[in-house]
């Protein structure tokens, strides 16, 4: 067999192997007994829940939307009618803790402003529920530790909403980078940005609610991508706040860039609320360039390698993410995106802010939490 088709087949098979077992196992388990499907309560009915998670739960095999938690009375009847939710499975933030008595809720998915993640993850664990928490995990390392402790104390699983670990294109980049398929020396260049023109009533521009700006919301994808592409932990970093002088962002950064040094190379990262849309992950190697562009979107992801296009299909990332976590619960296995990974990323985010506040001083990451996703090994 000629080299190029041979390599293409290997890469395609590798990614299918990574994703397909989750689907096939989910389908086989779901067909055994419908009662094995786990109920998910969405906490917070904002754009992400409305446009992504709820529709994805119509496609899942191992879990379904069983309850909602909202502070907006007008939304209750809309969701009841659209998703067939029982009226008694509709909660407010005031009576949230009553979920302890509801056996139809197995998993709580926290989809709230960042500053509320810790409170509702801890309360959900105390109510005896497993938890998926959206990224970033929290607004501080301290809160991340409290969330992990609460879930362990309650003997409940905690997973972070890192959907791209369930995307075939990003999975392929992980495998090619971590295996050093195209050489041992590598450089990553990645950016996730878009332009925000109106921040009125936008909680992500509020320091108290968001904890930070573009870095917390978009840059965390670049941070994640750098680590899972190298399959290594960064050794040092520096950061620089590049928010425009006349920026509309006055509480959080509008733009920031940083560089991380890894054992195998460097990663150059940018993120912004003040630039035209950009979403790419580029891996420069000894044998050529690999690129995902767009790289961090919900769909439409495309990829190329030195041997041609990645012949992969886009998937429903959220459906796979939630089904896989349900599978973790049913099979008593560990999440590939656990709370410890969220803590690690919050640690790095704090160090980037620290460096930026100190005129881009180089920061050593000697005490970085040692958690990686190395599924290729």
Are the C-beta atoms of residues 12 and 311 closer than 8 Å to each other? yes
The tokens for 262 are 């890894």
SS3 63: strand
Euclidean distance between CA atoms 330 and 320, whole angstroms: 15
Task: Please confirm, yes or no, whether 93 is among the known catalytic residues.
Answer: no
Residue 321: phi and psi, rounded to 5, are -60, -50
In DSSP notation, 170-224 reads: HHHHHHHHHTTTT-S-EEEEEEEEEE----TT-GGG-HHHHSSSHIIIIIHHHHH
In DSSP notation, 124-151 reads: HHHTT-EEEEPSS--SSHHHHHHHHHHH
Element (H, E) at 153: helix 141-153
State the catalytic residue, choosing from 120, 162, 221, 228.
221
SS3 242: coil
What is the distance between the terminal CA atoms of the chain, rounded to a whole angstrom? 26
Task: Please confirm, yes or no, whether 221 is among the known catalytic residues.
Answer: yes
Euclidean distance between CA atoms 129 and 106, whole angstroms: 5
SS3 281: strand
State the catalytic residue, choosing from 135, 157, 278, 351.
135
Q: Where are the beta strands (DSSP E) in 234-326?
A: 236-241, 255-262, 265-272, 274-285, 288-292, 303-305, 308-309
Q: Cβ–Cβ contacts within 10 Å for residue 137, how many?
A: 31
Q: What angle do CA 62, 115, 121 make, to 5 degrees?
A: 35
Are the C-beta atoms of residues 105 and 133 closer than 8 Å to each other? no
Distances, alpha carbon 182 to alpha carbons 169, 186, 217, 306, 373, in Å: 17, 9, 31, 8, 20
Q: Which residues, including other chains, have CB under 8 Å from residue 39's CB and lie 6 or more apart?
A: 63, 64, 65, 66, 67, 104, 105, 106, 107
Catalytic (active-site) positions: 135, 221
């Amino acid at each position: 067999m000629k080299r190029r088709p041979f390599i293409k087949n290997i890469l395609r098979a590798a990614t299918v192997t990574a994703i397909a077992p989750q689907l096939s196992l989910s389908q086989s388990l779901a067909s055994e007994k419908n009662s094995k499907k786990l109920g998910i309560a969405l906490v917070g009915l904002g754009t992400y829940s409305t446009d992504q998670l709820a529709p994805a739960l119509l496609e899942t095999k191992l879990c379904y939307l069983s309850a909602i938690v909202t502070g907006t009375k007008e939304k209750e009847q809309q969701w009841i009618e659209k998703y067939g939710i029982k009226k008694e499975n509709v909660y407010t933030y005031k009576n949230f803790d009553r979920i302890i008595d509801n056996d139809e809720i197995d998993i709580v998915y926290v989809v709230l402003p960042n500053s509320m993640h810790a409170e509702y993850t801890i309360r959900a664990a105390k109510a005896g529920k497993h938890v998926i928490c959206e990224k970033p995990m929290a607004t501080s390392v301290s809160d991340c530790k409290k969330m992990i402790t609460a879930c362990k104390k309650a003997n409940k699983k905690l997973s972070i909403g890192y959907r791209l670990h369930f995307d075939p294109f990003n999975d392929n980049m992980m495998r090619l980078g971590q295996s050093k398929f195209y050489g041992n020396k590598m450089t990553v260049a990645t950016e996730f940005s878009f332009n925000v023109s109106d921040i009125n009533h936008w909680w992500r521009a509020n320091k108290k609610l968001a904890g930070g700006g573009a870095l917390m919301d978009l840059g965390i994808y670049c941070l994640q991508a750098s680590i899972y592409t190298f399959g290594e932990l960064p050794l040092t970093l520096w950061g620089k706040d590049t928010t425009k002088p006349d920026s509309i962002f006055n509480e959080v950064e509008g733009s920031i860039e940083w560089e991380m040094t890894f054992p195998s190379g460097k990663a150059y990262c940018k993120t912004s609320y003040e630039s035209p849309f950009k979403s790419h992950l580029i891996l420069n190697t000894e044998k050529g360039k690999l690129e995902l562009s767009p790289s961090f979107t919900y769909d439409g992801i495309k990829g190329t390698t030195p041997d041609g296009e990645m012949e992969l299909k886009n998937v429903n990332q959220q459906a796979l993410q939630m089904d896989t976590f349900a599978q973790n619960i049913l099979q008593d296995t560990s999440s590939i995106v656990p709370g410890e990974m969220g803590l690690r990323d919050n640690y790095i985010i704090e160090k980037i802010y620290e460096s930026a506040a100190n005129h881009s001083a180089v920061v050593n990451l000697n005490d970085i939490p040692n958690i990686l996703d190395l599924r290729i090994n």
